[in-house]
Amino acid sequence: MQVIYKIPELALYIERLKKQNLEIGFVPTMGALHEGHLSLIGNSKKRCPVTLTSIFVNPTQFNDPNDLKNYPRDLETDLKKLASASCDAVFVPSESDMYPEKDTRVFDFDGIDTLMEGEHRPGHFNGVAQIVSKLFDLVNPDVAFFGQKDFQQVAIIRKMVKKLNLNVQIVACPIIRETDGLAMSSRNLLLTEEHRKIAPLIHQTLMQAVAKSNGLSVPQIKSWVVETINQSGLLKVEYFEVVDDQQLIPSKTFKNGKNNIGCIAVWAGNIRLIDNISFNL
């Protein structure tokens, strides 16, 4: 596996691949890699002759300085995991390389950035678009792979690709979960033992909500989910919203043949966890 630290070195690597007409699969990450990330690499390797990933904790998508400061980082372990997953190359840039000057670009996402994550993390998705567009420009991938756990983020990136007329296909891959159902996340490493034990309640409640959705309205389901999780005493729901899977418009009713997605953010102590589930009736 080739480890690339500098942009000129990356440019030479990409140029060689393009001359050979090799399709590039790209998996951008912020490190602290887990099986969810490695599954994205696996999906890329099944589809593309070359798989490249990046590790960069992007400061512009953090609206909380403490969150940025505490975000887990372990490059040595990450590189070992990528090598064991047979990743072909990894790009590990510095902040000064990615942002030699302040990125003042402001993206228009037609409003889908203002609800759910966008409402509670102002500026987050603009920061995501800044770094992903920079990485797409440098890597010039044919296909990019993202985890479905970040459902709204995938929708934002698809919108960005369309608006910028980028020639890259976005593939959303299934959520990878721990054996107890908790969605895998780099932030799970920061949970206390007590919060880690109760955190699977999030997914358990979402599954029960899908089972109840034939008999209850959307407002009833939303209230039940929030009450059920909050009653644990250790978890607090920041939001739970049911939206259509295309435009992210909040759903008023469950309709057969229409795929609604239940998206949730929950505080486990000082750690914020997100998850989602399909209400595909």
CA distances from 66 to 82, 95, 239, 244 (A): 28, 17, 21, 33
DSSP-based helix, strand, coil % in the chain, nearest 5: 45, 20, 35
The Cα–Cα gap between 249 and 244 comes to 6
The Cα–Cα gap between 113 and 126 comes to 8
CA distances from 190 to 90, 268, 271 (A): 25, 10, 7
**Contact in structure between 22 and 108 (CB atoms under 8 Å):** no
Is 120 an annotated catalytic residue?
no
For the beta sheet containing 271-280, the strands, ordered from the edge strand earlier in sequence to the opposite edge, are: 235-244, 259-268, 271-280
Q: Residue 157 has which token pair?
A: 């990136």
Instruction: Provide the 10 A C-beta neighbour count for residue 31.
Output: 22
Closest residue by Cα to residue 28 from 147, 152, 118, 125: 147
What is the secondary structure of 125-169 as a DSSP string? HHHHHHHHHHHHHHH--SEEEEEGGGHHHHHHHHHHHHHHT---E
Q: Which is the catalytic residue, given 37, 124, 195, 203? A: 37
| Cβ-count burial 40-70 (b if 16+ within 10 Å, e if not) | bbbbbbeebebbbbbbbbbebbbeeeebeee
Residues noted as catalytic? 37
